[in-house]
Chain A
Amino acid sequence: MVDLISFIISAAIVLGGALGVVLFANPVHNALSLIASFFGVAVLFIIQEAHFLALVQIVVYGGAIVVLFLFVIMLLGVDRIEAVEEEALVGQRGTALLAGVLLFGVLLGGLFFSGPDADVAPEAGRTAITGRQAQVVPLTDEQNVTQLGRDLFTRNILAFEATGLLLTIATVGAVVLVRNRGAEDLVVDEPGSAAA
């Protein structure tokens, strides 16, 4: 009962935040709605007793990523209501609509056609989409983080390393893009030059 009430409240926050992201005209208000949405997701994690995921959700998404969004919005000064009448790319809206409908269809399909296979016991958690058995292990508070860490650094070590590499490439790429400017754009800000 308490689970259900908590779920309804946090789901309302998630959906309300998501709508706010799309519907508000001001980019800063959009970013704030996004935080609300992330918070709702964190509460959903807590209801599932995934405390670690809940707090990582807040630290990484609610804290770091949206802070960076806001930082860029403020620094670039795009924090005013934008004209959305014109399409930036030709056919952007139609494609977006199509992609949205397709994604929604896939989600609905997943919801209706997945679920426990009739042949195996429900706890085995075999799903119709991938056909592979999902790992469903009851977590205790103490083992929560341990299990997650062990799984991440043994079974999924390749994916983990690949993600790390991807982030490194992104960082290097960003630096190269910024540093490749001509000398005429360079602002002299080295220590000591101010006195010259």
Chain B
Amino acid sequence: MGHPFLNDGVNFGDVIMVIVMVVISFTLCLVATMLMVWFERKVVSRLQNRIGPNVAGPFGLLQTLADGIKLFFKEDLVPTRSDPFVFKLAPYLSLIPAFLTFTVVPIAGSFDNDPIAEGSVNGSSTIFGREFLWQGADLPVGILFFLAMSSLGIYGIMLAGWSSGSKYPLLGSVRATAQAISYEAALGLSLAAVILVSGTLSTSGIVNGQAGDLARLNIVATGFIPFIVFLIAGTAELNRPPFDLVEAEQELVGGFHTEYSSIRFALFFLAEFMNTVTMGAIIVTLFFGGPAPLFDLPLIDFPSAWYIGFILFFAKLLVFLFIFVWFRATLPRLRYDQLMDLGWKVLIPISLGWLIVLGAIRVAQDGNVGIFDNSPTADTVAVLLIAFVIGGLGYALLRKAVENARTDRLAEAGLTMVANPDSDELSVGSATAHDAHGGH
């Protein structure tokens, strides 16, 4: 077991294979990013009743290339008060995890979820007599690799803001860090639900487990909630609107990249869009079966060629990229306290509770609960009912605790709470608030 490099010496063919895969992944990433920038600008323009880039190349396709070349020839500034080494390092810390994540995503191949049958492919193809998977690397713990890289990606933003040596970037990077810490937990917990259902940490294994049937897709099998949590937490992790407080132009000039120019700025820009593409690809892999078909159409016999997988994967990916752009064009930016409330008081409790419910359901289906004799189905229903009662109680408790904490804090400050019938939130009586301010 293990990598051939580490065990039985280096095989020349393996080396060539790995190099080819890496080059293909890298090129694909760059092209995808370039097209993503164009796609985002074009779609946002249409949604805002504009035309968008239309001069460089057909449909403005080469606009990104033109911008990239322009940035390359701009003056490269390093602020006097900056920490030069970290300042130069930060863009790469942002870019490299963005590229590396894509290597664990299966982008093509045909999956049939049938390990026993003769001629079963399960994502692997054979070219030049070598069996391989359509992904940069099939790690046994592939999906953890995604988590690791997304938690490392934050360093780029964080250190860029700090090393710039001025106020706005520092504020941006402190915001970015707090946001990443808050949403990483929700992201990980909804990921755990997928792992629980799939029973494997390998990305190709997760895709293969979803092949062939609509009910096997993880979005259905995990019961939709992990998908919704993952989509929201993923958008926050990307620092994309409506969670783009990190670079809120109205407040922070440009956030962490205020002091960056020329090619270093271009690297941040590249990393940001690369991360968007990767997050879309990860969502497709985790919840929509990646390159596997959504369902078996008995009338059309899917040819089990690898490129069918690629077309399916790309079509699914495009839907999510559109959704990310759509979010940006539609939703206003969250306020900072709303961002924290959503992360800590909504997403984390929901995803944690749902993970426990999923675990309980699995135990019940195995017939290990024994409320009703010999009926795992009845047991499952009973477990679900109990889970919802406990969940409801937990939610009521949490809400009460949040409200009490708020009342207490206001009482300490000499304010009183006035319930506002029009909104869900409680507002503060203005007269008393005025007095309290005077007392300070």
User: Interface of A with B (CB < 8 Å)?
Assistant: 1-3, 6, 26, 28-29, 32, 35, 47, 49, 51-52, 55-56, 58-59, 62-64, 67-68, 70-71, 74-75, 79, 140-142, 144-145, 183, 186, 188-193, 195-196
Contacts and interface: CB of A to CB of B under 8 A. Distances in A.
Given A67-B181, A190-B428, A56 B162 contact: no
Contact of A183 (B154, B337, B412): B412
B433 interface: yes
A67 B158 contact: yes
Contacts of A67: 151, 154-155, 158, 177, 180-181
Contact of B140 (A26, A142, A193): A142
Contacts of A68: 181
B259 interface: no
B151 A190 contact: no
Contacts of A70: 155, 158-159, 162, 177
Contacts of B6: 2-3, 6, 47
B322 to A, nearest CB: 30
B410 A71 contact: no
Contacts of A47: 6
Given A62-B148, A70-B162, 15 more contacts: A56-B144, A64-B181, A67-B154, A71-B177, A74-B158, A74-B162, A74-B170, A74-B174, A75-B174, A188-B436, A188-B437, A191-B337, A192-B427, A196-B430, A196-B434
Nearest to B89: A32
B308 interface: no
A147 to B, nearest CB: 13
A74 B163 CA distance: 11
B90 to A, nearest CB: 11
A56 B201 CA distance: 13
Chain B CB within 10 Å, residue with most, of A2, A79, A183, A192: A192
Contacts of A32: 86, 159
Interface in B91-140: 139-140
B1 A193 contact: no
B184 interface: yes
Contact of A51 (B139, B406, B414, B428): B139
B439 to A, nearest CB: 10
B357 interface: no
